[in-house]
Structure 1
Amino acid sequence: MNTLKKLGILNSDIAKVLTDLGHTDKIAIGDAGLPIPTGVKRIDLAIALSDPSFIKVLKAVLNDMKVEEVVLAEEIKEQNASQLEAIEAELVEEERITYVSHEEFKQQLKDVKAVIRTGEATPYSNIILQSGVLF
């Protein structure tokens, strides 16, 4: 019997990735231009430029995922301070933020389980989320 999920993320690809995460596994959410390494699962939500927005997708994922650490590009601080402020508003106190260069960020994408591509069209609107545990 097939039932319609009532709460949480309805996108089956995202729901499956989140369900399969173990402690310290990572996923990423990226803007429309983020290069996704060969071999890394791509979940493409982009419909049009700016749709869906990065922050909308981040909010939905954070509501469904226990996160212990996030990785952001250092460049977001100066190149997209308003997006950084929006990200910080969504995080809870125990979720540590690590900043790396954008080049290092792109290297770390090789180790994520999946990249969720949004339609976001602002610079450095990318995040890596490291899974925590509920207990």
Structure 2
Amino acid sequence: MKKGRLLNSELSYAVSRIGHTAHITICDAGLPIPPGVRRIDLAVEPGYPAFLRVLDALLSEMMVEEIVLAEEIREKNAPIFQGILETFASHGLSPKVTLIPHEAFKALARDSEAVVRTGECTPYANVILRSGVVF
């Protein structure tokens, strides 16, 4: 059995394959995931698993140098925005934060190595994680 915290095999595989500057998107239950993008669907029911729990687990195995968020999150979902920053801080990480319009976010997410769908049902609970290096 895998010893680390991240148990989902598809998610673990995606992290192990990602290179520097490539990205993985974690999204809420409503973000459109275009055909052709690897979809890792963790959603079981509304709210489960929660977006921040998935982010926290993923950060246990992924180095992130930049995050991209829809600029609307600051006003429309301040608790998740603050939770994202706190989750990174709890892992000792302080990535660059880039805010872009939601439509631009959806376009950029198409280039993700994988899109991880959570059960989160709050607005703009989406983040693009740009991979960093551990050295």
TM-score (norm 1): 0.95
Give, in angstroms, the shift of residue 94 of structure 1: 3.4
- Partner residue, 1:29: 26
Instruction: Output the CA distance in 1 between the equivalents of 2:4 and 2:12.
Output: 11
Give the match's secondary structure for 1:85: helix
% identical equivalent positions: 50
Instruction: Output the CA distance in 1 between the equivalents of 2:98 and 2:88.
Output: 13
- Partner residue, 1:90: 87
Give the match's secondary structure for 1:71: strand
Q: Deviations over 1:96-121 (max 9, x none)?
A: 10000000000001110000000000
Find runs of 4+ consecutive structure 1 residues off by over 4 angstroms: none
TM-score (norm 2): 0.95
Greater Cα radius of gyration, structure 1 or 2: 1
Instruction: Output the CA distance in 2 between the equivalents of 1:123 and 1:94.
Output: 24
Give, in angstroms, the shift of residue 88 of structure 1: 0.7
- Partner residue, 1:100: 100
Gaps of 5+ in 2: none
Instruction: Output the CA distance in 2 between the equivalents of 1:17 and 1:101.
Output: 26
What number of residue pairs does the alignment pair up?
Answer: 132
Instruction: Output the CA distance in 2 between the equivalents of 1:29 and 1:52.
Output: 12
Give, in angstroms, the shift of residue 8 of structure 1: 2.7
Instruction: Output the CA distance in 2 between the equivalents of 1:14 and 1:56.
Output: 14
Instruction: Output the CA distance in 2 between the equivalents of 1:29 and 1:89.
Output: 16
Mapping of residues 56-95 of structure 1, within 5 Å: 56-92=53-89, 94-95=94-95
Instruction: Output the CA distance in 2 between the equivalents of 1:48 and 1:94.
Output: 31
Instruction: Output the CA distance in 2 between the equivalents of 1:8 and 1:64.
Output: 8
Q: Deviations over 1:65-119 (max 9, x none)?
A: 0000000000001000011110110124530100000000000011100000000
Give the match's secondary structure for 1:97: strand
Gaps of 5+ in 1: none
Instruction: Output the CA distance in 2 between the equivalents of 1:121 and 1:95.
Output: 25
